[in-house]
Chains A and B, each alone.
Chain A
């Protein structure tokens, strides 16, 4: 690791983010994932002779939403351009993208790295259409083409080369991922390719003011792979430079099986995309009033929500951060607080410790939680009104997870209602005292520690249902 002290990595990320529109960016065909090949591609997606693109207004709104969320400039006039290259899964021989005038430019994202806030600049985010997929297996000597994905709306989010380590890169990506999911503009599913990343990496001697030659590693589809690909690339480039070689500007591919990157094509083979404004699409003007309408309909963003949770619910920053990590989780928590009318910190504990514990263990998302907000609130209500003790509540919670119904049903079915009738508790105490004369004598002669023994015996005798406060108070009186 010592040689890292002499080198600094410079990283910029390009993220392709599929927008959650119902139909494609330039046609009316649906965008749902996983359909039979070529069943979700219409004449326009197939690039048939004579067809023309018409911009999906929803996609434009989502791009503007993103721009507003990263405090960027929204172009008063943005232009679609054609990017040309030949590939079988690119039906028109060009991709409709944006080049000189993207919809979003000059934004930024603040990222927490080791407790420090780091600002990563976002150069631009432009709208474009996705290509189809080439399938190389199962067709013998031939390849299959699936154009279902062709025309799916994307925004490509290009960061400034502000990132200095693989860890920072992952922190930035996670923050970006959280943001687009929060905004409801992307489902964030990295396995299905809804959110994928290209990493531009170079290294330079510490203190150098010029950037080194960079490589671009394409299409990395998990946070862990991004980290590994960047780490590999940094190591590789340092090794090349320290052994007197030169880094070659090229496009590389990451192999998740080996954790290595390898050359895909060099700069000499780099394509001339021959960008020019698409004459089939007029320049798009987003008016100030429209921008304000979109701004007005923006959801609360993670950072603001976190701060509100601290202020409104009196939560520690850590709890607030966990609860606002996902919009659905934050909504869940707020529903629990509202429905239970209980102490927000108690609600936070149940949500972050018990519920998230179960979800993490079973690998379920909050949307698929076996315990709904209503159910958890119902449980907490029974603790507040002293129907059950906190301890019994854990048992009820586990039963809810196991699908045995809501809290009231479980409490009733299992006979878990707390005993608050003091005469019943007094009777139990008297029984315990009668059965344990030795311990009683020891306690009365000064062995205070035995108090816990008596509490335990009383709780046992009541199958844990006795109200703990009442047990404590009454025991103290009787044992005197």
Chain B
């Protein structure tokens, strides 16, 4: 059951091959058997998942189910889930039980999906290796000595190891795409504003976007369609109808114009990864696409721009964690200042503190213009690069990460090396465009992902191209040893 697509699971549920309860129990058994090695879940919903599954079975029995009814999923622990601990990978929220559901959690619940549990993640989504989590690092199912990528590391490890058919994730600078690439999954970060951010614990508000991690574009399409859409509770969500992603999946891609940004294939990209991506390009050409080299000249500015904007917003967003109303509160404090200093000092890990300090610095009086304002201007240039590119191509294709998954601990002492992991993914967040990663080969038994970036609200095209590619290849069907 854990290797079936969502479509196949839905058929199985309707033909009574298995019930939603059996499905939920099956994944629970696999979590119990395998997650000790991976640490992908921080909370497993034992009872509530079975109750939700029973409700799904009842709906299906009445013939009322929707396409996702009875399908289990894991939510990244960044989404508030009513009555269930929502810790965001942080000691700060170790005891925080959310009193409400995030909009996307409520929507998927309404669609009948069964929450199997909450997935581990980098603390407050700050990290590219899932090593900053208060709950310990997540291991890559393809090689447990390696990282799964981050920050949605728990989500990808769970899906790649067959501990959930699909999972939600969030992507601020690559946190869906990079881990997808490192674990042979398909992951999509939609256009900024396509999916509600209400109830998703904010890291960098102008960059954060929720998305899906699954084993195929088809699986991602069905879940994204249920998540997406305008939410009056989020002023930045866009009031525009959601396309029928599933219906567009099979459209032929003849005549598709693909742009390969030369900056994405320059120095820094591992040759093995490069070969995998170029082979994928050839395959897409065979399927009828045309390819041209393009330039995104401001690409080199992405990482420095991001590391001004994201920490600035994070320093502000994380100010609410003060030990006063909820979250970690230091014991034995005597003054208000001590309450703040010690609660935050104890509650936040090193990487989060580093980013709060960077962010506080760039927003401080006398530095704002030189850093934050300047970064916003550069952001505009990056956006203009894409705008220009989309005048001559339909989508931009490149590598997702510079290389395959690295070893646990390899970059934990070098923040800048860690930050450079996201060199290909950050631009899409800065511009707000949709982007996805999908499997395109292996180097030494480790997966490589390619990235597709589309124009605003062109999720449908991204999913269509990814699906056509997956129909013609079998990379995405490969499973890690020991988890088949």
CB distance from A42 to the nearest CB of B (A): 10
Task: Decide: A46 and B325 in contact? CB cutoff 8 A.
Answer: yes
- CA–CA, A82 and B202, complex, Å: 15
**B370 at interface by CB-CB < 8 Å:** no
**A86 at interface by CB-CB < 8 Å:** yes
**A84 at interface by CB-CB < 8 Å:** yes
Contacts of B79 in A (CB 8 A): 50
Contacts of B197 in A (CB 8 A): 52
- CA–CA, A46 and B320, complex, Å: 9
- CA–CA, A140 and B205, complex, Å: 39
Q: Which one, A47, A54, A276, contacts B235 given CB within 8 A? A: A54
CB distance from A209 to the nearest CB of B (A): 28
What does the 1/0 interface line of B43-73 toward A look like (CB < 8 Å)?
0000000000000000000000000000000
Task: Decide: B325 and A47 in contact? CB cutoff 8 A.
Answer: yes
Once A and B bind, how many residue pairs between them come within 8 Å at the CB atom? 96
Q: Which one, A48, A52, A88, contacts B336 given CB within 8 A? A: A88
Enumerate A266-291 residues with CB–CB distance to B below 8 Å.
272, 274-276, 279-282
Task: Decide: A282 and B201 in contact? CB cutoff 8 A.
Answer: no
Q: Which one, A46, A94, A279, contacts B319 given CB within 8 A? A: A94
**A70 at interface by CB-CB < 8 Å:** no
Task: Decide: B316 and A52 in contact? CB cutoff 8 A.
Answer: no
What does the 1/0 interface line of B82-109 toward A look like (CB < 8 Å)?
0000101000010010111010000000
**B80 at interface by CB-CB < 8 Å:** yes
- CA–CA, A425 and B254, complex, Å: 113
Closest chain B residue to A87, Cβ basis: B336
**B198 at interface by CB-CB < 8 Å:** yes
Contacts of A240 in B (CB 8 A): none
CB distance from B204 to the nearest CB of A (A): 8
What does the 1/0 interface line of B357-370 toward A look like (CB < 8 Å)?
00010011100100
Size bin of chain B's contact surface? 35 or more
Chain A: how many interface residues by the 8 Å CB criterion?
28
Task: Decide: A88 and B368 in contact? CB cutoff 8 A.
Answer: no
Q: Which one, A55, A86, A276, contacts B316 given CB within 8 A? A: A276
Contacts of B204 in A (CB 8 A): 279
- CA–CA, A51 and B202, complex, Å: 9
Contacts of B325 in A (CB 8 A): 46-47, 91, 145
**A363 at interface by CB-CB < 8 Å:** no
**A50-B202, A272-B364 are contacts. A86–B232 as well, Cβ < 8 Å?**
no
Task: Decide: B235 and A92 in contact? CB cutoff 8 A.
Answer: no
**A86-B322, A272-B364, A274-B363 are contacts. A54–B88 as well, Cβ < 8 Å?**
no
**A279-B206, A282-B236 are contacts. A50–B201 as well, Cβ < 8 Å?**
yes
Enumerate B323-344 residues with CB–CB distance to A below 8 Å.
324-326, 336, 340
**A207 at interface by CB-CB < 8 Å:** no
**B403 at interface by CB-CB < 8 Å:** no
Contacts of A46 in B (CB 8 A): 325
**A86-B319, A86-B322, A276-B363 are contacts. A53–B100 as well, Cβ < 8 Å?**
no
Contacts of A50 in B (CB 8 A): 79-80, 86, 98, 102, 198-202
**A43 at interface by CB-CB < 8 Å:** yes
**A115 at interface by CB-CB < 8 Å:** no
Task: Decide: A53 and B319 in contact? CB cutoff 8 A.
Answer: no
CB distance from B122 to the nearest CB of A (A): 16
What does the 1/0 interface line of B202-224 toward A look like (CB < 8 Å)?
10111000000000000000000
**B233 at interface by CB-CB < 8 Å:** yes
Contacts of A47 in B (CB 8 A): 320, 325
CB distance from B197 to the nearest CB of A (A): 6
CB distance from B202 to the nearest CB of A (A): 7
CB distance from B220 to the nearest CB of A (A): 23
Task: Decide: A145 and B324 in contact? CB cutoff 8 A.
Answer: yes
Task: Decide: A276 and B201 in contact? CB cutoff 8 A.
Answer: no
Most buried by A among B319, B322, B336: B319
Task: Decide: A86 and B340 in contact? CB cutoff 8 A.
Answer: yes
**A49 at interface by CB-CB < 8 Å:** yes
**A259 at interface by CB-CB < 8 Å:** no
The 5 nearest A-B residue pairs measured at CB: A93-B319, A279-B205, A279-B206, A274-B363, A50-B199
Beyond known contacts A52-B198, A88-B336, A93-B321: 9 more, CB 8 A cutoff: A48-B80, A49-B320, A50-B86, A93-B320, A275-B363, A276-B312, A279-B205, A281-B235, A282-B236
B contact residues vs A (CB 8 Å cutoff): 79-80, 86, 88, 93, 96, 98-100, 102, 197-202, 204-206, 232-236, 312-313, 315-316, 318-322, 324-326, 336, 340, 360, 363-365, 368, 372
A contact residues vs B (CB 8 Å cutoff): 43, 46-55, 82, 84, 86, 88, 91-94, 145, 272, 274-276, 279-282
